[in-house]
Structure 1
Amino acid sequence: MFRRLLILFDASADPEQVLTAARRLAPAPDSVHLYGLSPERRDLEAPRPPSLNALDRFWEAAKDWHVGTGIGHQLEDHLDVDALTLSARQHHSELVVIGPLLGTSPHARARVILSLAIRERLHVLSVGAHCPTVPSPTSRITLAVAPDGRGLGSVVDLITKRGLPRTELIALTSTEAPGRADQLHALSRALGVSETLRMESLAQSVLGRAEAFESAARRCGADLLLAPADAVDDMEALMLGLFGARALQDAHVPTLLLPRTLPTSPLFEERHAVSDSLLLPGLEPRFAIERVGLLLNVSVPEPGVLTVFEGGSPLGSSQHQGGTATLPASWFSHVRSGHLPALAFTCDSAPGEPIPCHLLAPERPLLLVDSRLALEPLGDVLARMSGTSHPVFVRLRDSEPLDTCRERLRKQLPGLMPPLLVDASAWLDDLRADDVPRQVDAQRLLRVAVRLAMAGAAISAVITRDEHKPVHPFIRTLTESELLLLSEGDAPAPLLLPEAPDTISRELALAGGGQCAGGHAIDFEFDNAAARESAIAAIDAARSTVHWQCYIVEDDTVTARFAEALQRAAGRGVHVRLLADALYSGHETFGVMNPVLVKLSKTPNIEVRAIAPLSGLPSLSALKQRNHRKMLLVDTEQAFITGRNMGAPYYTGFNEVALRRTSHYRDVPWLDCGARLSGPLVSDLERAFLAEWTRAGGAPYPVPVAAPAGEMSARLVLHEGLEDTHTLDTQLALIRHAKSRLVLVNTFPLLLELQNALVAALRRGVRVEVLFGSVRPHYGHQDHFAGGTFREVADRYVRSRLDAVIDAGGIAYEFAMPPAPAWEPELERVFPHVHAKLLVQDTATVAVGSANLDVTAAYWESEALLVVHDAPFAERMLAALEPLLATSRRIDREDTRWRTEAEQRAWVGRNWPSLVG
Structure 2
Amino acid sequence: MTAMQFIERFWQDIAAWALLIDIIVTGLTLVWVLHLKRETMSAIAWSLTVILVPFLGAFLFFLFGYQWVARPLRRKQQRRRLFRQICAWSSEASVPVPRRWQMLARLAEHAEGFPVTAGNAVEFYHEGKPLYAALLEAIGAARHHVHIEFFIFRSDACGEQFIEALSAAARRGVIVRFLYDSIGAHDLSRRLLRHVRRAGGRHAPFLPVLNPLYRLRVNLRNHRKIVVVDGRVAFTGGFNIGQEYLGLDRRYGFWRDTHMRLEGPVVAGLQRLFLEDWHFATGEAVKGEEYYPKWSEPQGEVLAQVVASGPDGEYKAIRETYFAAIVQARRRVWLASPYFVPDSGLRDALCLAARSGVDVRFLTLFRPDKWLPFLAARFYWSDLLDAGGKIYQYIPGMLHSKYLLVDGQWASVGTANFDNRSLFLNFEVNCQFFDTAVTQKLEEQFLSDLAQAVRVDREVFAQRPWMSRIFENGARLFSPVL
User: Do the structures match in fold with TM over 0.5?
Assistant: yes
What is residue 381 of structure 2 aligned with on the other side?
802
Query: Is 1:529 the equivalent of 2:129?
Result: yes
Q: Give CA deviations for 1:99-148 in whole Å, capped at 9, x if unaligned.
A: xxxxxxxxxxxxxxxxxxxxxxxxxxxxxxxxxxxxxxxxxxxxxxxxxx
- Partners of 2:443 and 2:43 lie apart in 1 by 47
- Partners of 1:852 and 1:585 lie apart in 2 by 19
One-letter amino acid matched to 1:726: A
Shift of 1:582: 1.8
Query: Is 1:633 the equivalent of 2:236?
Result: no
Query: Is 1:748 the equivalent of 2:351?
Result: no
One-letter amino acid matched to 1:509: R
Shift of 1:441: 8.4
Shift of 1:834: 1.8
- Partners of 1:498 and 1:680 lie apart in 2 by 11
What is residue 765 of structure 1 aligned with on the other side?
357
Distance change (3 Å), C-alpha of 1:471 and 1:561: closer
Q: Give CA deviations for 1:60-118 in whole Å, capped at 9, x if unaligned.
A: xxxxxxxxxxxxxxxxxxxxxxxxxxxxxxxxxxxxxxxxxxxxxxxxxxxxxxxxxxx
Query: Is 1:679 the equivalent of 2:275?
Result: no
What is residue 240 of structure 2 aligned with on the other side?
645
8 Å contact from structure 1 (residues 512, 718) kept in 2 = no
8 Å contact from structure 1 (residues 800, 908) kept in 2 = no
The one of 313, 316, 319 equivalent to 1:725 is 316
Shift of 1:814: 0.7
TM alignment of 1:123-134, pairs within 5 A: none
Shift of 1:620: 6.8
Distance change (3 Å), C-alpha of 1:619 and 1:690: closer
One-letter amino acid matched to 1:739: R
- Partner of 1:623: helix, strand, or coil? coil
Structure number with greater CO (CA < 8 Å, separation at least 6) is 2
What is residue 157 of structure 2 aligned with on the other side?
557
One-letter amino acid matched to 2:209: L
Q: Give CA deviations for 1:359-395 in whole Å, capped at 9, x if unaligned.
A: xxxxxxxxxxxxx88xxxxxxxxxxxxxxxxxxxx97
8 Å contact from structure 1 (residues 713, 869) kept in 2 = yes
One-letter amino acid matched to 1:676: R
Query: Is 1:546 the equivalent of 2:146?
Result: yes
Query: Is 1:716 the equivalent of 2:306?
Result: yes
Shift of 1:902: 5.1
Q: TM-score, normalised by structure 1?
A: 0.41
- Partners of 2:374 and 2:391 lie apart in 1 by 14
What is residue 812 of structure 1 aligned with on the other side?
391
Distance change (3 Å), C-alpha of 1:510 and 1:882: closer
Where is the helix percentage greater, Structure 1 or Structure 2? 2
- Partners of 1:692 and 1:580 lie apart in 2 by 10
Q: Give CA deviations for 1:843-902 in whole Å, capped at 9, x if unaligned.
A: 001111111111111112111110011101111111122121101111112236972375
One-letter amino acid matched to 2:241: M
Greater Rg, structure 1 or structure 2? 1
- Partners of 1:400 and 1:874 lie apart in 2 by 39
Query: Is 1:908 the equivalent of 2:470?
Result: no
Shift of 1:583: 2.4
One-letter amino acid matched to 1:682: V
- Partner of 1:559: helix, strand, or coil? helix
Q: Give CA deviations for 1:505-551 in whole Å, capped at 9, x if unaligned.
A: 12441355333221101121112211111111211222221111111
Query: Is 1:849 the equivalent of 2:435?
Result: no
- Partners of 1:542 and 1:399 lie apart in 2 by 47
The one of 685, 688, 704 equivalent to 2:292 is 704
8 Å contact from structure 2 (residues 377, 476) kept in 1 = no
Shift of 1:470: 11
Query: Is 1:665 the equivalent of 2:256?
Result: no
8 Å contact from structure 1 (residues 801, 909) kept in 2 = no
What is residue 869 of structure 1 aligned with on the other side?
434
One-letter amino acid matched to 1:545: H
One-letter amino acid matched to 2:261: R
What is residue 424 of structure 2 aligned with on the other side?
859
Shift of 1:664: 4.2
Q: Give CA deviations for 1:335-362 in whole Å, capped at 9, x if unaligned.
A: xxxxxxxxxxxxxxxxxxxxxxxxxxxx
Distance change (3 Å), C-alpha of 1:841 and 1:471: farther
Shift of 1:906: 3.4
Shift of 1:699: 5.5
8 Å contact from structure 2 (residues 68, 312) kept in 1 = no
TM alignment of 1:130-145, pairs within 5 A: none
Query: Is 1:884 the equivalent of 2:420?
Result: no
What is residue 838 of structure 1 aligned with on the other side?
403
- Partners of 1:798 and 1:706 lie apart in 2 by 45
What is residue 505 of structure 1 aligned with on the other side?
102
One-letter amino acid matched to 1:603: A
- Partners of 2:294 and 2:322 lie apart in 1 by 27
Distance change (3 Å), C-alpha of 1:681 and 1:511: closer
Query: Is 1:520 the equivalent of 2:120?
Result: yes
Query: Is 1:598 the equivalent of 2:189?
Result: no
TM alignment of 1:563-574, pairs within 5 A: 563-574=163-174
Shift of 1:691: 1.5
One-letter amino acid matched to 1:572: R
The one of 688, 696, 701 equivalent to 2:273 is 688
One-letter amino acid matched to 2:363: L
Distance change (3 Å), C-alpha of 1:552 and 1:441: closer
Shift of 1:440: 5.9
Distance change (3 Å), C-alpha of 1:573 and 1:603: same
One-letter amino acid matched to 2:300: G
Any unmatched runs of 5+ in structure 1?
A: 1-207, 212-242, 247-371, 374-393, 402-436, 443-466, 473-496, 658-662, 778-790, 818-831
Distance change (3 Å), C-alpha of 1:882 and 1:740: same
One-letter amino acid matched to 1:530: P
- Partners of 1:612 and 1:470 lie apart in 2 by 11
Q: Alignment identity in percent?
A: 26
- Partners of 1:800 and 1:469 lie apart in 2 by 38
Any unmatched runs of 5+ in structure 2?
A: 1-15, 27-33, 45-63, 79-93
Distance change (3 Å), C-alpha of 1:688 and 1:511: closer
One-letter amino acid matched to 1:506: M
8 Å contact from structure 1 (residues 716, 866) kept in 2 = yes
Distance change (3 Å), C-alpha of 1:439 and 1:504: farther
TM alignment of 1:151-230, pairs within 5 A: none
- Partners of 1:550 and 1:396 lie apart in 2 by 31
Q: TM-score, normalised by structure 2?
A: 0.75
Distance change (3 Å), C-alpha of 1:671 and 1:904: farther
- Partners of 1:629 and 1:689 lie apart in 2 by 9
Shift of 1:630: 0.2
The one of 24, 40, 56 equivalent to 1:397 is 40
Shift of 1:696: 1.8
- Partner of 1:680: helix, strand, or coil? coil
- Partners of 1:645 and 1:499 lie apart in 2 by 34
What is residue 894 of structure 1 aligned with on the other side?
459
- Partners of 2:447 and 2:42 lie apart in 1 by 46
What is residue 9 of structure 2 aligned with on the other side?
none
One-letter amino acid matched to 1:855: N
- Partners of 1:808 and 1:597 lie apart in 2 by 51
- Partners of 2:137 and 2:38 lie apart in 1 by 53
Count of aligned pairs between the two proteins: 407
Shift of 1:729: 0.9
8 Å contact from structure 1 (residues 714, 868) kept in 2 = yes
